[in-house]
């Protein structure tokens, strides 16, 4: 995979992760059908952990859930390390 394509995928997943947290927060406020936690985790595991973590902090959503409060930042660190490693291989 080209470096620019990988960068694009990572960017899209993180933007998606950020806004999906906002959408779920908005749905929670309006008592509407919610986005499942498994969907939030899937987006995070598919490269969007940084965006989901930023969305969690920005929207103050899921901050009382230990699995999100500690798991997402931990996953973000792992993803950053993997991204740096892959970028060094491709560069």
Strands (E), 11-50: none
How many helices and strands (H and E) does the chain possess? 4, 0
Can you say whether the dihedral through the CA atoms of 33, 29, 73, 1 is positive or negative?
Answer: positive
- What tokens appear for 24 in the block? 């779920």
**Confidence (pLDDT) at 79:** 97
Give residue 1's pLDDT.
72
**Residue 20 lies in domain:** 3-90
Give the count of domains, the chain.
Answer: 1
Structure confidence at residue 68 (pLDDT): 97
Q: What is the pLDDT along the chain (91 residues), one digit of tens a residue?
A: 789 999 999 999 999 999 999 999 999 999 999 999 999 999 999 999 999 999 999 999 999 999 999 999 999 999 999 999 999 998 8
By the 8 A CB rule, do 17 and 52 touch? Answer: yes
So what's the pLDDT on residue 91?
A: 81
């Amino acid at each position: 995979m080209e470096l620019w394509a990988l960068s694009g995928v990572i960017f899209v997943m993180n933007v998606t992760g950020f806004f999906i947290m906002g959408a779920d927060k908005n749905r929670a406020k309006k008592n509407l059908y919610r986005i499942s936690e498994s969907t939030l985790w899937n987006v995070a595991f598919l490269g969007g952990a940084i965006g989901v973590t930023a969305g969690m902090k920005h929207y103050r959503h899921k901050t009382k859930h230990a699995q999100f409060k500690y798991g997402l930042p931990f996953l973000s660190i792992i993803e950053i390390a993997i991204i740096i490693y892959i970028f060094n291989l491709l560069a």
